Structure 1
Amino acid sequence: MKSHILTVSCKSTRGIVAAITGYLADKGCYIVDSSQFDDLQTGLFFMRLTFTSQEGATMEELQKGFTPVADKFAMNWDLLDSEHRMKVLLMVSRFG
């Protein structure tokens, strides 16, 4: 089974977690890992979920179906295949 990663950020409000997890459950997805953070200073909510589709939903189906959920909360979101590797550059400097 393929794993997917969903990252979300939006204004903090009631019902966000329920909407996201409810959508994934309705699509036959199993949540493997979930992390969330509420920044009280900025009023922003952040969430990262790793999940698998037990019913074989495609990335396109998941993205299309999630759009109304995201629009309801004005989310900035991204859905990636967990096999997709990001390019990272690590730079180190020495003082003195």
Structure 2
Amino acid sequence: MCMAIPSKVVAIDGMTATVECFGRQREASLLLMNETVALGDFLLLQAGGFAFEKEDQEQAEKSLEYLKQVLAEDAAQTPAAISTQSDE
């Protein structure tokens, strides 16, 4: 199973974007995007770092909040805590 997590565009350099999710940044290829990408957009990424779809901000924030809750519940049930770094 593959799950795409929304990531916010914080920089763009040609066909590569720097995206942020839960306080961590990484590079994402824009080669698969069929529409223009701008700073502040939320993108869904495939494994391998390819952005494939935009997601509107409201839905992205709902998805991230849900994921944060799931991770918190999982962390409460396991000895090793999972940090999302969203509160830093």
Normalised to the residue count of structure 2, the TM-score between the two structures is 0.30
Greater radius of gyration (CA): 1
* Structure showing greater relative contact order (alpha-carbon pairs closer than 8 Å, 6 or more residues apart): 1
Normalised to the residue count of structure 1, the TM-score between the two structures is 0.28
